[in-house]
Chains A and B, each alone.
Chain A
């Protein structure tokens, strides 16, 4: 099946710093990617839809100035958590939708962010 990678797989940063997470679709072109957040023992919540070549669409309650999304190519979307705080500590998962395969979503392995 299709593969989506994320980097890094885990990161620890100090409060106030910014962290960038990369999501790559390795074997298909993804005009649309999605970013989810998962808190411990909770399900995945959609944060934003990343659109190649245009601005991301954010879900209600997600601060667009805090979670910067860039989708500069058909295989790469990045999520930057700016001025991170401990409450931003979470598991961030991206997915890419493959229109050539019935819009099946392929999920990355996730990035564990811990803000100290």
Chain B
């Protein structure tokens, strides 16, 4: 069965510093991996996805994620955090042949001025 783990409930970072939000996954085949962001009282917004190819994926708002097959990880990164990046971030996985997403429990990112 597919599963996703986001080991940190909350990540705190100062504005201007680099940020990392961690995600590890488990699938039986090749994974499709996604990151979504949720602002208060809003639905989820797509940030980026890994399907195949280059292990470094670039997405919206300056975010990027690195796919590491040996570590089964897909960490979200940004070189310089903004206060406006403060939100809830979800990692999700699905397998080839399936269209259902399995989500992690979410990580709250708090960027302080």
Do these two chains interact?
A: no
Residues of B within 8 A of A (CB): none
